[in-house]
Amino acid sequence: MSDSSAPLPSGPDSTRVDRWLWAVRLTKTRADAAQACRGGHVRVNDRPAKPAMAVRVGDKVRVRLHGTTRVVDVSHIIVKRVGAPVAARCYVDRTPAQPSQAAPVIRRDRGAGRPTKKDRRQLDRLRTDFPPPI
C-alpha cells in the first residue's frame, strides 16, 4: 500500500496552530512555528494568530517563512509529526506562483578602475529596479 492511498491518522477536531504547522512540516520545529506566530508571520482566516490559536478543517492559514509566503487550506488535523507524503495530504497549497525576475548581470570591463559617480548612480538604479531574489 503506497503513502498516497494510506488512510490519514485520526485526529481531533482542532489543534494549536503552532503544533499543526510543525506536524505538517511547514516549519522545522514547533518552536519555529511559535516564534513565527509571535512575530506576526502567521494568519488564520486573515486574522493574526497566536501560537495557541485553534485551527480547524477548512481554515485558511497564511505563513511567511524565509522570505516566502505560503497560503494553505487545512484539510485534515494532525497533532503528531508524520512523513512528508502524508503531511502534504493534510493541507491544500494555494500559494500563488512567484514570478521569476531575472536580474541583469552587472559587469564592468576588467581594469576599468573605480566606478565614477555617474556609474555608481546607474548601478544603484539597476539594483533598485531589480531587487535580489529571495
- pLDDT tens digits for range 16-62: 999 999 999 999 999 999 999 999 999 999 999 999 999 999 999 99
| 3-class SS shares of the chain: helix, strand, coil, % to 5 | 25, 20, 55
Contact present, 61 and 42 (Cβ < 8 Å): yes
Residues 6+ apart with CB under 8 A from 30: 18, 19, 21, 22
More confident residue, 63 or 5: 63
What's this model's pTM, rounded to 2 decimal places? 0.70
